[in-house]
Structure 1
Protein backbone atom coordinates (compact mmCIF):
# COMPACT_ATOMS: atom_id res chain seq x y z
CA UNK A 1 0.00 0.00 0.00
CA UNK A 2 2.83 2.39 0.82
CA UNK A 3 4.04 2.57 -2.76
CA UNK A 4 0.67 3.70 -4.12
CA UNK A 5 0.71 7.32 -5.25
CA UNK A 6 -2.37 8.66 -7.03
CA UNK A 7 -5.82 7.05 -6.81
CA UNK A 8 -7.95 7.68 -9.89
CA UNK A 9 -11.55 6.47 -10.13
CA UNK A 10 -13.76 6.16 -13.19
CA UNK A 11 -17.40 7.07 -12.62
CA UNK A 12 -20.41 5.73 -14.50
CA UNK A 13 -18.39 3.29 -16.62
CA UNK A 14 -21.14 0.64 -16.76
CA UNK A 15 -24.38 1.70 -18.43
CA UNK A 16 -26.71 -0.13 -16.02
CA UNK A 17 -25.00 1.43 -13.00
CA UNK A 18 -25.38 4.94 -14.41
CA UNK A 19 -29.04 4.23 -15.11
CA UNK A 20 -29.77 2.69 -11.68
CA UNK A 21 -28.69 5.96 -10.03
CA UNK A 22 -30.56 8.10 -12.56
CA UNK A 23 -27.37 9.54 -14.03
CA UNK A 24 -26.73 10.41 -17.65
CA UNK A 25 -24.57 7.87 -19.46
CA UNK A 26 -21.26 9.66 -20.18
CA UNK A 27 -19.87 10.14 -23.66
CA UNK A 28 -16.25 10.32 -22.49
CA UNK A 29 -14.47 8.94 -19.39
CA UNK A 30 -15.58 10.62 -16.17
CA UNK A 31 -12.88 10.65 -13.49
CA UNK A 32 -12.50 11.70 -9.86
CA UNK A 33 -9.80 10.97 -7.30
CA UNK A 34 -9.37 9.87 -3.69
CA UNK A 35 -6.59 10.75 -1.21
CA UNK A 36 -4.18 7.99 -0.18
CA UNK A 37 -5.64 8.21 3.35
CA UNK A 38 -8.69 6.49 1.86
CA UNK A 39 -6.75 3.29 1.16
CA UNK A 40 -7.21 0.17 3.28
CA UNK A 41 -6.48 -3.46 2.43
CA UNK A 42 -9.25 -6.06 2.62
CA UNK A 43 -7.41 -8.77 4.53
CA UNK A 44 -10.25 -10.02 6.71
CA UNK A 45 -10.21 -7.27 9.31
CA UNK A 46 -12.80 -4.81 10.60
CA UNK A 47 -13.01 -1.68 8.47
CA UNK A 48 -14.49 1.38 10.13
CA UNK A 49 -16.77 3.63 8.07
CA UNK A 50 -18.85 6.68 9.05
CA UNK A 51 -22.18 5.64 10.54
CA UNK A 52 -23.62 9.11 11.13
CA UNK A 53 -23.62 10.58 7.61
CA UNK A 54 -26.42 8.71 5.91
CA UNK A 55 -26.16 5.60 3.77
CA UNK A 56 -22.73 4.20 2.89
CA UNK A 57 -22.85 2.37 -0.45
CA UNK A 58 -20.46 -0.28 -1.76
CA UNK A 59 -19.20 -0.13 -5.36
CA UNK A 60 -17.05 -3.11 -6.37
CA UNK A 61 -14.47 -2.50 -9.09
CA UNK A 62 -11.45 -3.87 -10.94
CA UNK A 63 -8.36 -1.86 -10.00
CA UNK A 64 -5.31 -1.43 -12.25
CA UNK A 65 -1.78 -0.79 -10.96
CA UNK A 66 0.53 1.28 -13.16
CA UNK A 67 4.07 -0.09 -13.39
CA UNK A 68 5.82 2.65 -15.36
CA UNK A 69 5.19 6.19 -16.57
CA UNK A 70 2.75 6.15 -19.46
CA UNK A 71 4.04 7.25 -22.86
CA UNK A 72 1.79 8.05 -25.84
CA UNK A 73 1.07 4.98 -27.91
CA UNK A 74 1.86 2.55 -25.09
CA UNK A 75 -0.33 -0.54 -24.91
CA UNK A 76 -2.06 -1.20 -21.61
CA UNK A 77 -0.08 -4.41 -21.12
CA UNK A 78 3.10 -2.31 -21.16
CA UNK A 79 1.79 0.14 -18.56
CA UNK A 80 -0.09 -2.16 -16.18
CA UNK A 81 1.70 -4.93 -14.28
CA UNK A 82 -0.93 -6.09 -11.81
CA UNK A 83 -4.55 -5.77 -10.80
CA UNK A 84 -6.74 -6.04 -7.72
CA UNK A 85 -10.37 -5.74 -6.80
CA UNK A 86 -11.58 -2.79 -4.78
CA UNK A 87 -14.57 -1.12 -3.23
CA UNK A 88 -15.23 2.56 -3.82
CA UNK A 89 -17.28 3.34 -0.72
CA UNK A 90 -19.59 6.32 -1.17
CA UNK A 91 -21.56 8.44 1.28
CA UNK A 92 -24.62 8.41 -0.97
CA UNK A 93 -26.75 10.93 0.91
CA UNK A 94 -23.81 13.32 1.16
CA UNK A 95 -23.10 12.86 -2.55
CA UNK A 96 -26.73 13.62 -3.45
CA UNK A 97 -26.58 16.91 -1.56
CA UNK A 98 -23.26 17.83 -3.17
CA UNK A 99 -24.70 17.10 -6.62
CA UNK A 100 -27.65 19.42 -5.96
CA UNK A 101 -25.21 22.24 -5.19
CA UNK A 102 -22.91 21.32 -8.11
CA UNK A 103 -20.10 20.86 -5.59
CA UNK A 104 -17.18 18.41 -5.92
CA UNK A 105 -17.73 14.90 -4.59
CA UNK A 106 -14.64 14.66 -2.39
CA UNK A 107 -16.52 14.65 0.95
CA UNK A 108 -18.63 11.75 -0.30
CA UNK A 109 -15.80 9.77 -1.87
CA UNK A 110 -12.54 10.58 -0.10
CA UNK A 111 -13.11 9.81 3.58
CA UNK A 112 -10.74 7.41 5.43
CA UNK A 113 -11.17 3.74 4.42
CA UNK A 114 -13.30 4.66 1.39
CA UNK A 115 -10.87 2.94 -1.01
CA UNK A 116 -10.77 -0.75 -0.11
CA UNK A 117 -8.23 -2.84 -2.00
CA UNK A 118 -7.51 -6.58 -2.17
CA UNK A 119 -4.06 -8.05 -2.70
CA UNK A 120 -2.63 -7.56 -6.19
CA UNK A 121 -2.40 -10.28 -8.84
CA UNK A 122 -0.53 -10.36 -12.16
CA UNK A 123 -2.40 -8.52 -14.91
CA UNK A 124 -3.36 -11.08 -17.60
CA UNK A 125 -4.04 -8.48 -20.28
CA UNK A 126 -7.17 -6.57 -21.23
CA UNK A 127 -8.73 -9.32 -23.36
CA UNK A 128 -7.90 -12.16 -20.97
CA UNK A 129 -9.41 -10.17 -18.11
CA UNK A 130 -12.73 -10.21 -19.94
CA UNK A 131 -12.91 -13.99 -19.67
CA UNK A 132 -13.65 -13.82 -15.94
CA UNK A 133 -16.45 -12.12 -13.97
CA UNK A 134 -15.76 -10.28 -10.73
CA UNK A 135 -18.25 -10.09 -7.89
CA UNK A 136 -19.01 -8.73 -4.45
CA UNK A 137 -20.60 -11.05 -1.90
CA UNK A 138 -22.35 -9.57 1.14
CA UNK A 139 -23.17 -11.91 4.01
CA UNK A 140 -23.01 -14.91 1.66
CA UNK A 141 -25.17 -13.39 -1.11
CA UNK A 142 -23.80 -12.09 -4.41
CA UNK A 143 -24.92 -8.47 -4.66
CA UNK A 144 -22.76 -7.31 -7.58
CA UNK A 145 -21.36 -9.20 -10.55
CA UNK A 146 -19.71 -7.68 -13.58
CA UNK A 147 -17.27 -8.16 -16.41
CA UNK A 148 -14.86 -5.61 -17.81
CA UNK A 149 -16.10 -6.33 -21.34
CA UNK A 150 -19.25 -4.40 -20.38
CA UNK A 151 -17.37 -1.18 -19.65
CA UNK A 152 -18.44 1.88 -21.62
CA UNK A 153 -14.76 2.82 -21.91
CA UNK A 154 -12.29 -0.06 -21.99
CA UNK A 155 -9.07 -0.24 -20.01
CA UNK A 156 -6.91 1.05 -22.85
CA UNK A 157 -9.13 4.11 -23.27
CA UNK A 158 -9.15 4.76 -19.52
CA UNK A 159 -5.36 4.60 -19.25
CA UNK A 160 -4.85 6.88 -22.25
CA UNK A 161 -7.43 9.40 -21.02
CA UNK A 162 -6.05 9.47 -17.48
CA UNK A 163 -2.49 9.93 -18.68
CA UNK A 164 -3.44 12.71 -21.09
CA UNK A 165 -5.42 14.78 -18.60
CA UNK A 166 -3.79 14.06 -15.24
CA UNK A 167 -0.55 12.20 -15.81
CA UNK A 168 0.06 8.54 -15.03
CA UNK A 169 3.16 7.13 -13.39
CA UNK A 170 4.59 4.24 -11.41
CA UNK A 171 2.49 3.42 -8.35
CA UNK A 172 -0.70 5.06 -9.55
CA UNK A 173 -3.88 2.99 -9.43
CA UNK A 174 -7.16 3.26 -11.31
CA UNK A 175 -10.54 2.09 -10.03
CA UNK A 176 -12.21 1.29 -13.36
CA UNK A 177 -15.89 1.63 -12.48
CA UNK A 178 -18.64 -0.43 -10.90
CA UNK A 179 -21.42 -2.55 -12.42
CA UNK A 180 -25.06 -2.34 -11.38
CA UNK A 181 -26.17 -3.56 -7.97
CA UNK A 182 -24.70 -0.99 -5.61
CA UNK A 183 -26.36 -0.63 -2.24
CA UNK A 184 -25.91 0.23 1.44
CA UNK A 185 -23.83 -1.57 4.04
CA UNK A 186 -24.87 -2.17 7.64
CA UNK A 187 -22.81 -2.60 10.77
CA UNK A 188 -21.41 -6.13 10.89
CA UNK A 189 -21.76 -6.90 7.18
CA UNK A 190 -19.14 -9.30 5.82
CA UNK A 191 -17.94 -8.41 2.31
CA UNK A 192 -15.98 -10.71 0.00
CA UNK A 193 -14.42 -9.75 -3.34
CA UNK A 194 -14.09 -12.54 -5.90
CA UNK A 195 -12.45 -12.83 -9.29
CA UNK A 196 -14.14 -15.82 -10.84
CA UNK A 197 -14.28 -18.31 -7.98
CA UNK A 198 -11.11 -17.00 -6.31
CA UNK A 199 -11.59 -14.93 -3.18
CA UNK A 200 -9.13 -12.06 -3.42
CA UNK A 201 -10.09 -10.19 -0.26
CA UNK A 202 -12.66 -9.81 2.49
CA UNK A 203 -13.55 -7.51 5.36
CA UNK A 204 -16.19 -6.83 7.99
CA UNK A 205 -17.88 -3.44 8.19
CA UNK A 206 -17.98 -1.43 11.40
CA UNK A 207 -20.12 1.70 11.23
CA UNK A 208 -19.03 4.28 13.79
Structure 2
Protein backbone atom coordinates (compact mmCIF):
# COMPACT_ATOMS: atom_id res chain seq x y z
CA UNK A 1 0.00 0.00 0.00
CA UNK A 2 1.32 3.45 -0.94
CA UNK A 3 0.31 6.79 0.47
CA UNK A 4 -0.59 9.34 -2.18
CA UNK A 5 -1.08 12.80 -0.68
CA UNK A 6 -2.98 15.80 -1.96
CA UNK A 7 0.36 17.27 -3.03
CA UNK A 8 0.78 14.31 -5.40
CA UNK A 9 -2.52 15.04 -7.17
CA UNK A 10 -3.03 17.60 -9.91
CA UNK A 11 -6.43 17.24 -11.57
CA UNK A 12 -9.54 15.27 -10.59
CA UNK A 13 -11.57 14.08 -13.57
CA UNK A 14 -14.94 12.38 -13.11
CA UNK A 15 -17.38 10.78 -15.53
CA UNK A 16 -21.15 10.89 -15.24
CA UNK A 17 -23.64 8.17 -16.23
CA UNK A 18 -21.02 5.54 -17.01
CA UNK A 19 -23.19 2.66 -15.73
CA UNK A 20 -26.50 2.16 -17.55
CA UNK A 21 -28.51 1.19 -14.46
CA UNK A 22 -27.31 4.27 -12.59
CA UNK A 23 -28.38 6.52 -15.46
CA UNK A 24 -31.76 4.76 -15.48
CA UNK A 25 -32.32 5.10 -11.73
CA UNK A 26 -31.99 8.90 -12.02
CA UNK A 27 -34.10 9.07 -15.18
CA UNK A 28 -31.16 10.10 -17.38
CA UNK A 29 -30.25 9.02 -20.88
CA UNK A 30 -26.99 7.14 -21.43
CA UNK A 31 -24.59 9.61 -23.11
CA UNK A 32 -23.15 8.97 -26.55
CA UNK A 33 -19.73 10.24 -25.44
CA UNK A 34 -18.13 10.39 -21.98
CA UNK A 35 -19.68 13.10 -19.79
CA UNK A 36 -16.67 14.57 -18.01
CA UNK A 37 -16.65 17.01 -15.10
CA UNK A 38 -13.94 18.02 -12.65
CA UNK A 39 -13.55 18.60 -8.94
CA UNK A 40 -11.01 20.95 -7.33
CA UNK A 41 -8.20 19.38 -5.33
CA UNK A 42 -9.73 21.09 -2.26
CA UNK A 43 -12.54 18.52 -2.59
CA UNK A 44 -10.14 15.64 -1.91
CA UNK A 45 -10.37 13.88 1.46
CA UNK A 46 -9.28 10.46 2.79
CA UNK A 47 -12.36 8.40 3.69
CA UNK A 48 -11.11 7.51 7.15
CA UNK A 49 -12.72 8.48 10.45
CA UNK A 50 -15.30 11.27 10.48
CA UNK A 51 -15.72 13.46 7.40
CA UNK A 52 -17.77 16.66 7.38
CA UNK A 53 -20.28 17.22 4.54
CA UNK A 54 -22.74 20.07 3.90
CA UNK A 55 -25.93 19.72 5.90
CA UNK A 56 -27.76 22.84 4.76
CA UNK A 57 -27.94 22.41 0.97
CA UNK A 58 -30.50 19.63 0.56
CA UNK A 59 -29.79 15.93 0.15
CA UNK A 60 -26.23 14.60 -0.05
CA UNK A 61 -25.88 11.44 -2.14
CA UNK A 62 -23.08 8.89 -2.08
CA UNK A 63 -21.61 7.47 -5.31
CA UNK A 64 -18.95 4.75 -5.00
CA UNK A 65 -16.43 4.55 -7.84
CA UNK A 66 -13.13 3.00 -8.86
CA UNK A 67 -10.47 5.73 -8.91
CA UNK A 68 -7.26 5.54 -10.93
CA UNK A 69 -3.98 7.41 -10.40
CA UNK A 70 -1.87 8.38 -13.42
CA UNK A 71 1.85 7.93 -12.76
CA UNK A 72 2.94 9.57 -16.01
CA UNK A 73 1.48 11.66 -18.84
CA UNK A 74 -0.94 9.75 -21.05
CA UNK A 75 0.44 8.48 -24.34
CA UNK A 76 -1.78 6.70 -26.84
CA UNK A 77 1.21 4.81 -28.27
CA UNK A 78 1.99 3.06 -24.97
CA UNK A 79 -0.01 0.46 -23.01
CA UNK A 80 -2.32 2.26 -20.59
CA UNK A 81 -1.60 -0.36 -17.93
CA UNK A 82 1.97 0.97 -17.78
CA UNK A 83 0.81 4.54 -17.20
CA UNK A 84 -1.50 3.93 -14.22
CA UNK A 85 0.31 3.04 -11.00
CA UNK A 86 -2.40 2.88 -8.30
CA UNK A 87 -6.13 2.59 -7.77
CA UNK A 88 -8.64 2.73 -4.97
CA UNK A 89 -12.37 2.81 -4.33
CA UNK A 90 -13.60 6.34 -3.68
CA UNK A 91 -16.75 8.36 -3.19
CA UNK A 92 -18.10 11.09 -5.46
CA UNK A 93 -20.46 13.00 -3.14
CA UNK A 94 -23.24 14.98 -4.79
CA UNK A 95 -25.61 17.66 -3.56
CA UNK A 96 -28.54 16.13 -5.44
CA UNK A 97 -31.10 18.90 -4.89
CA UNK A 98 -28.55 21.49 -5.99
CA UNK A 99 -27.66 19.39 -9.03
CA UNK A 100 -31.30 19.06 -10.06
CA UNK A 101 -31.76 22.84 -9.90
CA UNK A 102 -28.66 23.74 -11.87
CA UNK A 103 -29.27 21.00 -14.46
CA UNK A 104 -32.73 22.47 -15.10
CA UNK A 105 -31.08 25.84 -15.81
CA UNK A 106 -28.27 24.39 -17.89
CA UNK A 107 -25.62 25.55 -15.43
CA UNK A 108 -22.29 23.78 -14.70
CA UNK A 109 -22.27 21.12 -11.98
CA UNK A 110 -19.50 22.61 -9.83
CA UNK A 111 -21.74 23.74 -6.96
CA UNK A 112 -23.22 20.24 -6.72
CA UNK A 113 -20.04 18.25 -7.23
CA UNK A 114 -17.03 20.33 -6.19
CA UNK A 115 -17.63 21.27 -2.56
CA UNK A 116 -15.04 20.48 0.11
CA UNK A 117 -14.70 16.77 0.95
CA UNK A 118 -16.77 15.76 -2.08
CA UNK A 119 -13.97 13.60 -3.52
CA UNK A 120 -13.21 10.90 -0.95
CA UNK A 121 -10.56 8.26 -1.56
CA UNK A 122 -9.66 5.03 0.18
CA UNK A 123 -6.26 3.43 0.68
CA UNK A 124 -4.23 3.35 -2.52
CA UNK A 125 -3.43 -0.10 -3.91
CA UNK A 126 -0.94 -1.11 -6.63
CA UNK A 127 -2.70 -1.11 -9.99
CA UNK A 128 -2.97 -4.72 -11.27
CA UNK A 129 -4.00 -3.94 -14.84
CA UNK A 130 -7.37 -3.71 -16.55
CA UNK A 131 -7.78 -7.47 -16.97
CA UNK A 132 -7.27 -8.12 -13.26
CA UNK A 133 -9.53 -5.23 -12.28
CA UNK A 134 -12.36 -6.76 -14.30
CA UNK A 135 -12.17 -9.99 -12.29
CA UNK A 136 -13.35 -8.38 -9.03
CA UNK A 137 -16.22 -6.19 -7.87
CA UNK A 138 -16.08 -3.12 -5.70
CA UNK A 139 -18.80 -2.51 -3.13
CA UNK A 140 -20.16 0.10 -0.77
CA UNK A 141 -21.83 -0.83 2.52
CA UNK A 142 -24.00 1.72 4.28
CA UNK A 143 -24.43 0.99 7.99
CA UNK A 144 -23.55 -2.65 7.34
CA UNK A 145 -25.88 -3.12 4.34
CA UNK A 146 -24.54 -3.43 0.81
CA UNK A 147 -26.01 -0.65 -1.34
CA UNK A 148 -23.71 -0.59 -4.37
CA UNK A 149 -21.74 -3.20 -6.31
CA UNK A 150 -19.89 -2.48 -9.52
CA UNK A 151 -17.43 -3.95 -11.99
CA UNK A 152 -15.58 -2.19 -14.78
CA UNK A 153 -16.97 -4.76 -17.23
CA UNK A 154 -20.34 -3.00 -16.89
CA UNK A 155 -19.09 0.50 -17.70
CA UNK A 156 -20.50 2.24 -20.77
CA UNK A 157 -17.07 3.65 -21.65
CA UNK A 158 -13.98 1.59 -20.84
CA UNK A 159 -10.96 2.85 -18.93
CA UNK A 160 -9.07 3.13 -22.22
CA UNK A 161 -11.86 5.12 -23.84
CA UNK A 162 -12.10 7.45 -20.84
CA UNK A 163 -8.36 8.09 -20.73
CA UNK A 164 -8.14 8.82 -24.46
CA UNK A 165 -11.18 11.10 -24.35
CA UNK A 166 -9.97 13.11 -21.35
CA UNK A 167 -6.48 13.50 -22.80
CA UNK A 168 -7.74 14.64 -26.21
CA UNK A 169 -9.84 17.43 -24.71
CA UNK A 170 -8.17 18.49 -21.48
CA UNK A 171 -4.89 16.63 -21.10
CA UNK A 172 -4.22 13.69 -18.79
CA UNK A 173 -0.94 13.87 -16.95
CA UNK A 174 1.07 12.49 -14.07
CA UNK A 175 -0.75 12.99 -10.78
CA UNK A 176 -4.22 13.15 -12.32
CA UNK A 177 -7.09 11.12 -10.86
CA UNK A 178 -9.82 9.51 -12.93
CA UNK A 179 -13.11 8.66 -11.19
CA UNK A 180 -14.63 6.07 -13.52
CA UNK A 181 -18.35 6.32 -12.71
CA UNK A 182 -20.80 4.85 -10.21
CA UNK A 183 -23.08 1.80 -10.49
CA UNK A 184 -26.73 1.75 -9.48
CA UNK A 185 -27.76 2.10 -5.86
CA UNK A 186 -26.89 5.71 -5.04
CA UNK A 187 -28.84 7.26 -2.21
CA UNK A 188 -29.12 9.93 0.45
CA UNK A 189 -26.85 10.20 3.48
CA UNK A 190 -27.75 11.09 7.05
CA UNK A 191 -25.40 12.40 9.70
CA UNK A 192 -23.64 9.53 11.44
CA UNK A 193 -23.95 7.09 8.53
CA UNK A 194 -21.01 4.71 8.25
CA UNK A 195 -19.76 3.93 4.75
CA UNK A 196 -17.33 1.10 4.10
CA UNK A 197 -15.68 0.73 0.69
CA UNK A 198 -14.50 -2.70 -0.34
CA UNK A 199 -12.39 -4.09 -3.17
CA UNK A 200 -12.33 -7.81 -3.89
CA UNK A 201 -13.32 -8.73 -0.35
CA UNK A 202 -10.91 -6.33 1.38
CA UNK A 203 -11.85 -3.05 3.07
CA UNK A 204 -10.04 -0.07 1.55
CA UNK A 205 -11.91 2.72 3.36
CA UNK A 206 -14.14 3.11 6.39
CA UNK A 207 -15.60 6.41 7.54
CA UNK A 208 -18.49 8.25 9.16
CA UNK A 209 -20.43 10.99 7.37
CA UNK A 210 -21.18 14.06 9.51
CA UNK A 211 -23.60 16.51 7.90
CA UNK A 212 -23.10 20.04 9.14
Q: Which moved more, 1:65-74 or 1:15-24?
A: 65-74
Where structure 1 has 5 or more consecutive residues not aligned to the other structure, the ranges are none
Runs ≥4 residues deviating over 6 A: none
TM-score, normalization: structure 2?
A: 0.96
Matched with 2:106 is 102
Matched with 2:13 is 8
Paired residue total: 207
- Alpha-carbon distance in structure 1 between the residues aligned to 2:33 and 2:83: 21
Matched with 1:119 is 123
Q: Secondary structure at the match of 2:8?
A: coil
- For 1:60-79, list aligned pairs within 5 A: 60-79=64-83
Whether 1:174 and 2:196 are equivalent positions in the alignment is no
TM-score, normalization: structure 1?
A: 0.98
Matched with 2:26 is 21
Matched with 2:159 is 155
Matching residue within 179, 192, 209 for 1:188: 192
Question: Cα RMSD over matched residues?
Answer: 0.7
How big is the shift at 1:72? 2.4
1:12-62, Cα deviation, whole Å (9 max, x unpaired): 00000011101110111110000000000012x110000111000000000
1:70-128, Cα deviation, whole Å (9 max, x unpaired): 12222220211110111000000000000010000000000000000011101111111
How big is the shift at 1:196? 1.6
